[in-house]
Amino acid sequence: MYSDKVMDHFKNPRNVGEIENADGIGEVGNPVCGDIMKIFIKVENNVVTDAKFKTFGCGAAIASSSMATELVRGKTLEEAWEISNKAVAEALEGLPPIKMHCSVLAEEGIHKAINDYRVKQGLEPWEEKNPHSHEHDEALACDH
């Protein structure tokens, strides 16, 4: 059911772990719904120099976290903010429709981590497009 790319990122996840003294941390999801993602970023001169993750979830959730951390590395915060869930899913050569919410979680995790950084820097957080992804798409809603 999964593409080779998803299986590759599931079996050999890139950037697993935590960053000590991370500049930004984003945690999204809910154990009741079966997935939690925690994204850590290191920022230098407005550029994401390192990104790591820890994820509780299915194969698609782990692969999406891995791909999202790959995509943000080396990007400016503005560029990283623009990485959409579709971009994550496309980079993974597609996700089954029921698993698209995993890529949404990855996008949100990145946004939360960036805003965490901004707030710590005394800056205004940027407006998050999809707060609480689990509610935003009725077909994929987890009621908890």
Partner 1 sequence: MGEKRIVYMDHSATTYTRKEVIGAMIPYYAEHFGNPSSIYGIARESKKAIDTARADVAAALGAEPGEIYFTSGGSESDNWAIKGVAYANRNRGNHIITTKIEHHAVLHTCEYLEKDGFTITYLPVDKYGLVDPAELEKSITDKTILISIMYANNEIGTIEPIAELAAVAKKHRIYFHTDAVQAIGNVPIDVKAQDIDLLSLSAHKFYGPKGVGVLYIRKGVRIDNLIHGGGQESRRRAGTENIAGIVGLGKAITYATSDIEGHNRKIRALRDRLMKGILEKIPHAYLNGHPEKRLPGNINISFEFIEGESMLLWLDDEGICASTGSACTSGSLEPSHVLLATGLPVEISHGSLRLTLGDVNTDADVDFVLEVLPKVVSRLRDMSPLYQKSGKEGGCNV
Site for partner 1 (CB under 8 A): which residue of 5, 14, 27, 47? 27
Give me the catalytic one of 7, 16, 25, 33: 33
Could you tell me how far CA 118 lies from the centroid of its own chain?
17
For 45, how many CA atoms within 13 A lie in the half-sphere containing its CB? 1
31 is a site residue for partner 1 (CB under 8 A): yes
Pick 38 or 111: Cβ nearer partner 1: 38
The three-class DSSP label of residue 50 is strand
62 belongs to the binding site for partner 1 (CB under 8 A) = yes
Q: Which residues of 12-47 are buried (b: 16+ CB within 10 A; e: fewer)?
A: ebbbeeebeebbbbbebbeeebebbbbbbbbbeeee
Interacting stretch for partner 1, rule CB under 8 A, among 55-63, 72-80, 114-122, 124-132? 55-63
Partner residues linked to 29 by β-bridges: 36
Indicate which single residue of 46, 49, 56, 121 sits in contact with partner 1 (rule: CB under 8 A). Answer: 56
Please tell me whether residue 110 binds partner 1 under the rule CB under 8 A: no
- Determine, following the binding rule CB under 8 A, whether residue 130 of this chain makes contact with partner 1: no
Q: Is 116 in the site for partner 1 (CB under 8 A)?
A: no
d(CA 2, CA 59) in angstroms, rounded, equals 9
CA distances from 75 to 35, 58, 131 (A): 26, 27, 23
For the question of residue 58 being annotated catalytic, the response is no
Binding site for partner 1 (CB under 8 A): 7, 10-11, 13, 16-18, 27, 31-38, 53-62, 98-99, 101, 140-142, 144
Catalytic residue positions, numbered: 33, 102
